[in-house]
Amino acid sequence: MNVKRLLDSLNLHQIRTELTAHYHREGPGRTPINPPAMLKAQLAKHLLRIPSDSRITLRHRNDHKTVRACGFRSRTPSHGLFTHFRHRLGEGTYLNIFNGLTGMLLESGTIIGKVIAVDSTHVKAYGGRAIDNRVGGSDPDARVGRGRRGFILGYRVHIACCADSELPIAYGVAPCNENDKLYFEPLLERVHRLGVGFKSVLADTQYSTVNVRDAAKWLGAEPVIPVRRYSRVEAVLRLGRDFVARGARRVLGLFRKRWSLKRLFGWAKEWLLLDGLRVGGLAQVSSHVSPSLISMLAVTLRL
């Protein structure tokens, strides 16, 4: 889809109050730049794979079509204003915007949510090296943890997605060394609060514990999580020596839908700048991850 056409047609009326609440409306001081236009510019940064705020500012100086599509009229913001905008919104506001767009997709039937897949992916910290092979130097919130190919310094993005539509429903960001199981139940609770009536939860073997299974059952869902071959836990899926899950055909069919989340991670990293960190600190990394996932929902709303 054409990015300029998407931005021009994106209706942010329902979340306008959420954005303008962070700026003064009367009294002394400069008139703030249109907050919905600032959010559209943040989404354009991810959709156009522009790596930094200074680059998006330069793009606005030379691409007047993008400027008009975002909604800027008299003047365009400097890169410092984009940084302040992220600070003003913070994790909570980005999460509310994400939940608002998710609610629209649920109402339209785009997100079904009967089958939920839960997993995480790593993103490397911006610059710096680890101290004592554990903590980041320039980014003190970053931690050393296992990545796909060895150890990395960075963060992990935890996501629960609809396995049918392959769209995110809930997410969270944590240091790379924290166990994925700690974020399983919080993700499911966020999905449940949105009113999603999921019936099955898919996850890798690393989530195979009694507490994780009980958390899914407590919310009325069937945990489709394989156990290792030497585990004593009774389960319908079990990994063999060749690391292939075996079990009933129905459950295997559900478990294969887990790859929807792998594709989601691939699209977000390849096309929406998910792992292109240029900020440090857990709060700022979360404010970078949020527009990436919000962009995915915004594109789906306009399809």
Q: 227 near 213, Cβ under 8 Å? A: no
45 in the same domain as 125: no
Report the CATH number at residue 173: 3.30.420
Tokens representing 74 are 């008299």
Bridge partners (DSSP) listed for residue 247: 237
166 in the same domain as 243: yes
Report the C-alpha gap between 65 and 69 in whole angstroms: 6
84 in the same domain as 125: no
177 in the same domain as 53: no
SS3 content of the chain, % helix, strand, coil (to 5): 45, 20, 35
273 in the same domain as 126: yes
Q: Give the pTM.
A: 0.90
Last residue in a domain, options 90, 120, 150? 90
Locate tokens 């700022």: which residue?
284
Task: Give me the residues of the chain with pLDDT under 70, please.
Answer: 1, 9, 14, 25, 27, 29, 128, 130, 229-236, 240-243, 303
167 in the same domain as 117: yes
User: Which residues contact residue 218 at a Cβ distance below 8 angstroms, ignoring those fewer than 6 apart?
Assistant: none
Classify each residue of 160-197 as buried b or exposed e, where b means 16 or more C-beta atoms within 10 Å of its C-beta: bbbbbbbbbbbbbbbbbbeebeebbbebbebbbeeebe
236 in the same domain as 113: yes
Last residue in a domain, options 59, 90, 121? 90
Classify each residue of 25-45 as buried b or exposed e, where b means 16 or more C-beta atoms within 10 Å of its C-beta: eeeeeeebbbbbbbbbbbbbb
Strands of the chain, DSSP E: 115-124, 130-131, 135-136, 143-147, 150-162, 167-175, 200-202, 222-224, 237-239, 245-247
- The domain in which residue 283 lies consists of 95-288
Flag whether 296 is in a domain: no
Note the pLDDT tens digit of each residue in 207-252.
988 899 999 999 999 999 888 766 666 666 777 666 677 777 888 8
Tokens representing 31 are 């008139």
Q: What's the burial of 282, exposed, middle or buried (CB within 10 Å: 0-12/13-18/19+)?
A: middle
Tokens representing 154 are 């960075």
> How many of the other CB atoms lie within 10 Å of CB of 22?
14
pLDDT of residue 37: 87
Report the C-alpha gap between 160 and 167 in whole angstroms: 9
105 in the same domain as 202: yes
Report the C-alpha gap between 16 and 19 in whole angstroms: 5
Number of independent structural domains in the chain: 2
- Taken in order 94, 97, 101, 104, the sign of the CA dihedral is positive
100 in the same domain as 79: no
Tokens representing 57 are 């500012």
93, 98, 100, 105: CA torsion to nearest 10: 180
Q: What is the largest CA-CA distance in the chain?
A: 70
Flag whether 301 is in a domain: no
pLDDT of residue 274: 93
Flag whether 294 is in a domain: no
Flag whether 150 is in a domain: yes
Last residue in a domain, options 37, 61, 90? 90
